Homo-oligomer: A and B are copies of this chain.
Amino acid sequence: MSDNLSNAQIEQRLAWRYATKRFNPEKKISSADWKTLEQALLLAPSSFGLQPWHFVSVSDAKLRESLREASWKQPQVTDASHLVVLAARTSVDAAYISDFIKRAATTRNIPESSLDPYRGMIDGFLSAMANKPGAVESWATHQLYLALGMLLTTAAMLGIDACPLEGIDPAFYNEALGLPAKGFSTKVAVALGYRAEDDALASLEKVRLPAESVFTCR
Which residue numbers of A lie inside 8 Å of B, CB to CB? 1-2, 4-5, 7, 9-19, 32-33, 35-36, 38-45, 47, 49, 51, 53-60, 63, 100, 103-104, 107-108, 138, 141-154, 157-159, 164, 166, 177, 187-188, 204-209, 211, 214-218
Q: A209: nearest residue on chain B (CB-CB)?
A: B51
Q: Is the CB of B205 within 8 A of A166?
A: no
Interface of A is mostly: helix
A6: min CB distance to chain B, Å: 9
Given A103-B209, A207-B49, A15 and B32 contact (CB-CB distance below 8 Å): no
A183: min CB distance to chain B, Å: 11
Q: Is the CB of B211 within 8 A of A42?
A: yes
Q: Across the interface, which residues of B come within 8 angstroms of A209, CB to CB?
A: 51, 103
Q: Is the CB of A154 within 8 A of B152?
A: no
* Cross-interface CB contact of A157 among B10, B104, B187, cutoff 8 Å: B10
Q: Is the CB of B9 within 8 A of A42?
A: no
* Cross-interface CB contact of A14 among B40, B55, B177, B211, cutoff 8 Å: B40
Q: Across the interface, which residues of B come within 8 angstroms of A208, CB to CB?
A: 42-43, 49, 51, 107
Q: Across the interface, which residues of B come within 8 angstroms of A215, CB to CB?
A: 38, 41-42, 54-57
